[in-house]
C-alpha cells in the first residue's frame, strides 16, 4: 500500500497535478514546493527544467512525520538514486563538541528526514524535515534564546518557501501566508531592458512586464503554473530566437506583445533573410483572457498560431 501511494504521488508530481505550487525561476530552473494532498497532508520539494521534473524530489507526509519518497529525475525521466533511504536509523547525533545535536532519522550517519535540532544551550531550534543539511519541505523554527515558536510552515533548501506563519518573540502572529525564497511574495515584476533571462519570475505574480530586447538568445518560452498572473506585457524586439512559445495562464486577462518579438531568428535563412516558417505560438487554458494585442511582425516565423480555451478580443 505504501509503495502504491508513493507511486501515486510521483505520478502527480510528473503530471504537475498540485493542490498548490510555489516557485521562483533561477538560472532557468523552477525551484518549487507544492502541496500534493491535503488529506493526508503531503508536500514536496523539487525542481523543474523545461517544464519537467529534474533533479532530486523529496515527498513527505506531515501527518505521520515520514518520508513518502525520494526520487531522482533527469528531465522528467526517473533515474536510480545513488543511495537507499528505505532503512533509516533513529538516534541522537552530536553535531559538534559544544552540544549541538540532532534527534531523529539518520542516513549513513547524517540527519536525513524528520527530527529535532537542538543548540548548544539545549534549546530546540528546529523540528521538521532535514535533507542535505537544510530545512526542507516542512518544519518549525524556534527562537534560539527562549525556545518559543518563530516560524511554522514550508521550506525549500533552508528558506521559507510556500505557506507558513511567522511569530514575534511574544508569540504574536506577524505574518500568515505565502513565502517565496525567504521573502513575502512579489505580485508585480518588471524584467528590465536587455535582460538575458527571465530569472525572478514566480508563482505569486499578478502583473509581469518584460521590456524591450529581452532574452534575445532564448529559443523556448513556456509560461505555466503562474495561476495568479492577470496581466502580461512584452515589449519590442524580445525573444527574437524563440520558436516554441506556449502560455497556459488561467487568470490571465490581458496579453500585450510589442513589435518584432518572437521572430524565430534561429530558423532564418541568412542568405535570403526570410524566416523558415515552422515556429509555434499557443495560448491555452486562459478562460479569463479579454484582450490579446500583438504588434507588427511579431511571430513572423510561426506556422502554428493556436488560441483555445479563451474568449478574447484580438488586435
Side by side, which strands form the sheet with 231-234? Answer: 188-191, 207-210, 231-234, 254-257, 291-294, 313-314
Q: Bigger pLDDT: 82 or 265?
A: 82
pLDDT band with cut points at 50, 70 and 90 for residue 277:
low
Q: Give, for 3, the enclosing helix (H) or strand (E).
A: helix 2-15
Residues 6+ apart with CB under 8 A from 90: 104, 105, 106
Closest CA to 33 of 152, 154, 144: 154
pLDDT at 4: 66
Gap between the Cα atoms of 49 and 41, Å rounded: 26
Distance of CA 116 to the CA centre of its chain: 27
Question: To which residue does cell 535570403 refer?
Answer: 272
**Cα angle vertex 29, ends 106, 65, to 5°?**
30
Distance of CA 92 to the CA centre of its chain: 33
pLDDT at 14: 96
Gap between the Cα atoms of 239 and 246, Å rounded: 13
pLDDT at 6: 79
pLDDT at 1: 45
Q: What percent of the chain has pLDDT over 90?
A: 81
Amino acid at each position: 500500500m505504501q509503495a502504491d501511494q508513493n507511486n501515486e504521488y510521483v505520478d502527480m508530481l510528473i503530471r504537475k497535478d498540485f493542490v498548490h505550487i510555489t516557485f521562483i525561476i533561477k538560472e532557468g530552473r523552477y525551484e518549487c514546493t507544492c502541496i500534493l494532498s491535503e488529506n493526508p497532508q503531503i508536500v514536496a520539494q523539487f525542481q523543474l527544467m523545461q517544464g519537467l521534473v529534474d533533479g532530486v524530489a523529496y515527498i513527505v507526509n506531515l501527518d505521520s512525520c515520514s518520508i513518502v519518497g525520494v526520487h531522482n529525475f533527469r528531465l522528467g525521466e526517473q533515474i536510480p538514486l545513488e543511495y537507499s533511504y528505505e532503512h533509516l536509523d533513529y538516534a541522537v547525533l552530536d553535531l559538534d563538541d559544544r552540544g549541538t545535536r540532532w534527534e531523529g532519522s539518520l542516513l549513513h550517519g547524517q540527519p536525513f528526514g524528520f527530527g529535532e535540532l537542538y543548540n548548544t544551550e539545549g534549546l530546540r531550534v528546529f523540528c521538521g524535515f532535514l535533507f542535505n543539511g537544510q530545512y526542507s519541505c516542512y518544519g518549525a523554527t524556534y527562537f534560539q534564546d527562549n525556545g518559543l515558536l518563530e516560524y511554522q510552515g514550508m521550506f525549500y533548501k533552508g528558506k521559507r518557501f510556500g505557506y507558513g506563519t511567522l511569530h514575534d518573540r511574544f508569540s504574536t502572529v506577524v505574518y500568515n501566508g505565502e513565502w517565496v525564497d525567504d521573502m513575502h511574495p512579489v505580485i508585480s515584476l518588471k524584467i528590465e531592458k536587455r535582460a538575458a533571462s527571465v530569472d525572478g519570475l514566480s508563482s505569486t505574480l499578478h502583473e509581469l512586464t518584460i521590456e524591450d530586447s529581452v532574452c534575445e538568445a532564448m529559443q523556448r518560452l513556456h509560461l505555466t503554473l503562474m495561476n495568479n498572473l492577470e496581466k502580461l506585457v512584452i515589449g519590442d524586439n524580445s525573444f527574437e530566437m524563440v520558436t516554441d512559445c506556449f502560455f497556459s495562464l488561467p487568470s490571465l486577462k490581458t496579453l500585450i506583445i510589442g513589435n518584432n518579438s518572437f521572430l524565430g531568428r534561429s530558423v532564418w535563412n541568412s542568405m535570403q533573410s526570410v524566416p523558415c516558417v515552422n515556429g509555434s505560438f499557443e495560448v491555452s487554458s486562459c478562460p479569463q483572457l479579454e484582450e490579446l494585442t500583438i504588434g507588427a511582425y511579431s511571430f513572423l516565423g510561426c506556422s502554428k498560431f493556436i488560441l483555445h480555451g479563451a474568449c478574447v478580443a484580438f488586435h
